[in-house]
Amino acid sequence: MSLIRVQNLHKHFSLSSGLGKNLVVKAVDGVSFELEKGEVLALVGESGCGKSTLALTLMHLEEASAGQVLFNDNDITTLKGKALKNLRRDIQMVFQDPYESLNPLMTVGAIVEEPLKVHGLGKSKSARQEMVKKALEDAGLNPAESYLNRRPHELSGGQRQRVVIAAALVLEPSLVIADEPVSMLDVSIRAEVLGVLERLKLEHSVAMLFITHDLGTAAHFADRIAVMYLGRIVELGETQDVLENPQHPYTKALLSVIPVPNPKLRRKHIILQGDPPNPINIPGGCRFHPRCPVAIPTCSKQEVALKHININHKAACLLLDHSA
Amino acid sequence: MSNKQQANLLEVRGLTVDYLTEKAKARALENVSFKVAQGSILGIVGESGCGKTTLMLALLRLLPQAGRIVAGEVLFNGRDLLRLSENDMRSLRWQDLAIIFQGAMNALNPVKTVEDQITEVLLRQNPNKTSAAKRVDELLEMVGIGRNRKGQYPHQFSGGMRQRAMIAMALACNPKLVIADEPTTALDVMVQAQILELLLQLRAELDLTILLVTHDLGVVAEVCDTALVMYGGVIAEHAPIDAIFNAPSHPYTQALLGAFPDHTKPKTQLLSIPGYPPKLDALPPGCRFAPRCSQVIDICQLKTPSLIKVSDGFASCHLLETL
Ligand SMILES: Nc1ncnc2c1ncn2[C@@H]1O[C@H](COP(=O)(O)OP(=O)(O)OP(=O)(O)O)[C@@H](O)[C@H]1O
Ligand SMILES: Nc1ncnc2c1ncn2[C@@H]1O[C@H](COP(=O)(O)OP(=O)(O)OP(=O)(O)O)[C@@H](O)[C@H]1O
Ligand SMILES: [Mg+2]
Ligand SMILES: [Mg+2]
């Protein structure tokens, strides 16, 4: 049984254009995937492709427009009240910006204790303190005592992000959704925070949806990679498969432009011109066809679904059939 | 004569900068020296706060109020910029030297069209409106912005297009040296690739010399000829990129490379650098990297290493002196 199974999930926003016409932003437009216990799935794609919206919809912080999210086999898109609160304990989110997600007036101890209070966990103040200390230490803030009374401005960027992680961990979630958790951090500190997340996965079997636009980081950290384009997953597979044998022309382009720290490996870049198109106006047929360097006329007419390349690797491209 | 050795367009000697704050004086740059060959691209890397922006601003004498250049020379084509009158410096700044500031794409004036903003820069040099109008079209074409969009306002442009507009503005008066401080940091990888390709193409067409500040070692490997690795206000290493990436001399360069993700080597483990960069008002004695260095020896905590010649470049590390 998968920990989470997402089926044909949609999240559309309607915007009033001011001219009486209603525009629909199709931010998430038919996403399906599964995640096992203790597995890390990286979600990569350009700015605006719908990564954060997908995360918020999974957490039920945005209401799904259509589709299902089965968490431990229960559909969470319809949850309310106590059941929803329990879900919010089991799925935790870590955001990009450690400077914004911490209350500057609270001490580290109070910040990490807060979620326990919200969920009515821990029998006494001292029981909660023990849980807080354990979470801080699991997040790599050792010894925990020396951090309890500090405030966010007294911490470095990497330490702040670890406090955010500790506040998520203290509830012992089975799924952590991390939205660009390291992109604000310097490389030297990034490796350290990734190490903390890696330990969570290995020692606590926490599953993770790791949102990033940095395929390099995804490569080191994820078990599988999902590539998203304009509200859809266009390729999904095991990390090494996707990196070494990308199938979708979009994945190929994306991989070709990730800077590699090796001057001997200056490769040919497939540079897509223009900006990513707008989720208000999704092209017909394959949604990538207007930017696709290898599109054929049929691509503008025919929608494409994900097709298996092998048991663990899928991509949504018409041309796959021609080559296979 | 086939002289492949290009002359140095820029030579910095012993540049030292302080920031004066209410409480104290912080030394942001100490004895920084390097040369940049005409037509080359120098990458400047290092963790946040190591002095990259300070160095760029000091070269152009654009430091904020609190900043003071306390020693050094900045030789541009052999002339010391630090000795020029403020007037001479100002005209040089637009004609020969151009800077694209960190976060610049958000610094365009929101109430003026892109065309008007570029025109303004041009008219400052040459009051002929017809030639300015022609040049605006030329510049926009050079950076890949269609003429039909020149009358638009910055908010109608995407981040990548705003950055292109800033580059067009920087190139307006045919500079010889372009300083770009994190020009792609806030941009998507695909847009970053477009901008970097543009810089490479402009370098080839206009024989520009470029100083590119970035914290992305991948970007350095992709576009630069040489790299300057900074740590806590000093130069740790300065070498051609082949040496930087394949045979780094300084332990800090080695540590940075070990922490940097490379998607072509997904199986290698990323190694964090323990600890944090030094605070400028509490510098450790001796080598500034010593408290975090895995190869530290006794002398490192006592004596500041000086920048010495190593096989392919320069580095400041006691381990290299004893060799
Ligand atoms: N509340 C909202 N109302 C209307 N449109 C929205 C809303 N939230 C997001 N969008 C739009 O949905 C699209 C997807 O946005 P989202 O933030 O999910 O992208 P993302 O992939 O996380 O991008 P980034 O990498 O920049 O964080 C964008 O076009 C965005 O403008
Ligand atoms: N106006 C100022 N007054 C006092 N100190 C300053 C001032 N500007 C910068 N500093 C300090 O000087 C040091 C170098 O800052 P600088 O902005 O040059 O770093 P940087 O390498 O460009 O960092 P980043 O990668 O974050 O842009 C930092 O310690 C910073 O706090
Ligand atoms: Mg996002
Ligand atoms: Mg800077």
Per-residue pLDDT reduced to its tens digit, A5-64: 999 999 999 887 666 677 899 999 999 999 999 999 999 998 889 999 999 999 888 999
Q: Which residues line ligand 2 (CB under 6 A)?
A: B 19, 21, 26, 28, 46, 48-54, 64, 66, 102, 215, 280
Distance CA B16, CA B18 (A): 7
Helices A157-169, A125-138: axis angle to 10 degrees equals: 130
Please tell me the number of the ligand nearest to residue A95's CA.
3
**What is the mean predicted confidence (pLDDT) over A139-151?**
89
Residue A125 sits at the chain B interface (C-beta within 8 Å): no
- Residue B134's identity, in one-letter code, is K
Q: Output the pLDDT for position A324.
A: 42
Determine, for residues A273 and B266 on separate chains, whether the beta-carbon distance falls below 8 Å: no
Determine, for residues A191 and B259 on separate chains, whether the beta-carbon distance falls below 8 Å: yes
Beta carbons within 8 Å of B31's beta carbon, 6+ residues apart = B14, B15, B16, B71, B72, B234, B307
Does the beta carbon of A49 lie inside 6 Å of ligand 1? yes
DSSP of B115-141: HHHHHHHHHHH---HHHHHHHHHHHHH
Determine, for residues B47 and A187 on separate chains, whether the beta-carbon distance falls below 8 Å: yes
CB atoms under 10 Å from CB of A292, counted, come to 19
Contacts made by residues B202-208, CB under 8 angstroms, sequence distance 24+:
B202/B142, B202/B167, B202/B171, B203/B39, B203/B41, B206/B171, B206/B174, B207/B38, B207/B39, B208/B39, B208/B175, B208/B176, B208/B177, B208/B178
**What is the mean predicted confidence (pLDDT) over A240-255?**
95
Band of residue B5 on the pLDDT scale cut at 50, 70, 90:
low
Give Dmax over CA atoms of chain B in angstroms.
67
The interface residues of chain B toward chain A in range 217-236, judged by CB-CB distance below 8 A, are 217-222
Please tell me the number of the ligand nearest to residue B215's CA.
2
Please give the residue of chain B at the shortest CA–CA distance from A46: B188
Alpha carbons within 13 angstroms on the beta-carbon side of residue A92 total: 24
Distance CA B149, CA B82 (A): 40
The CA angle B181-B186-B192, to the nearest 5 degrees, is 80
Does the beta carbon of A25 lie inside 6 Å of ligand 1? yes
Q: Say whether pLDDT at A87 is over 90.
A: no
Determine, for residues A259 and B241 on separate chains, whether the beta-carbon distance falls below 8 Å: no
- Among B105, B149, B263, B271, pick the best mutation site for testing chain A contact (most A Cβ within 10 A): B263
State in Å: Cα A75 to ligand 3 middle. Answer: 24
Determine, for residues A259 and B221 on separate chains, whether the beta-carbon distance falls below 8 Å: yes
Q: Say whether pLDDT at A163 is over 50.
A: yes
Determine, for residues B263 and A258 on separate chains, whether the beta-carbon distance falls below 8 Å: yes
First vs last C-alpha separation in chain A: 31
Report whether A45 contacts B189 (CB < 8 A).
Answer: no
Band of residue A129 on the pLDDT scale cut at 50, 70, 90:
very high
Q: Output the pLDDT for position A85.
A: 86
Q: Which atom of ligand 1 is nearest to the CA of A213?
A: 25
Pairing of strands A175-179, A207-212: parallel
**What is the mean predicted confidence (pLDDT) over B282-302?**
94
**What is the mean predicted confidence (pLDDT) over B102-106?**
73
CA distances from B264 to A110, B120, B270, B299 (A): 42, 46, 13, 38
Q: Output the pLDDT for position B3.
A: 45
Cα of A217 to nearest chain B Cα, Å: 6
Give the per-residue SS3 of chain A: CCCEEEEEEEEEEEEECCCCCEEEEEEEEEEEEEECCCCEEEEECCCCCCHHHHHHHHCCCCCCCEEEEEECCEEHHHCCHHHHHHHHHHEEEECCCCCCCCCCCCCHHHHHHHHHHHCCCCCCHHHHHHHHHHHHHHCCCCCCHHHHCCCHHHCCHHHHHHHHHHHHHCCCCCEEEEECCCCCCCHHHHHHHHHHHHHHHHHHCCEEEEEECCHHHHHHHCCEEEEEECCEEEEEEEHHHHHHCCCCHHHHHHHHHCCCCCHHHCCCCCCCCCCCCCCCCCCCCCCCHHHCCCCCHHHHCCCCCCEEEECCEEECCCHHHHHC
**What is the mean predicted confidence (pLDDT) over B269-278?**
87
Q: In this predicted model, which residue has the larger pLDDT, A192 or B29? A: B29
Please give the residue of chain B at the shortest CA–CA distance from A239: B266
* DSSP β-bridge partners for residue B234: B231
pLDDT digits (tens, 9 = 90+) for B107-149: 788 899 999 999 998 898 888 999 999 999 989 988 888 888 8
Least confidently predicted of A99-103, A113-117, A314-318, B79-83: A99-103
Determine, for residues B221 and A239 on separate chains, whether the beta-carbon distance falls below 8 Å: no
Query: How much is the mean pLDDT over chain A?
Result: 90
Q: Which residues of A touch B262 (CB under 8 A)?
A: 216, 219, 260-262
Q: Say whether pLDDT at A321 is over 60.
A: no
Least confidently predicted of A27-31, A99-103, A216-220, A240-244: A99-103
* DSSP β-bridge partners for residue B25: B20
Residue nearest to atom 4 of ligand 2 (CA): B19
pLDDT digits (tens, 9 = 90+) for B171-228: 888 899 999 999 887 778 888 898 899 999 999 999 999 999 998 999 999 999 999 9
State in Å: Cα B48 to ligand 1 middle. Answer: 28
Percentage of residues of chain B with pLDDT beyond 90: 62
Q: Say whether pLDDT at A98 is over 70.
A: no
Considering the entire predicted model, what is its pTM?
A: 0.89
Residue B312 sits at the chain A interface (C-beta within 8 Å): no
State in Å: Cα A181 to ligand 3 middle. Answer: 11
Q: Output the pLDDT for position B314.
A: 97
Q: Say whether pLDDT at A97 is over 50.
A: yes
Q: Output the pLDDT for position A18.
A: 65
Q: Say whether pLDDT at B2 is over 50.
A: no
Please give the residue of chain B at the shortest CA–CA distance from A194: B270
**Three-class secondary structure of residue B290 per DSSP:** helix
Residue A18 sits at the chain B interface (C-beta within 8 Å): no
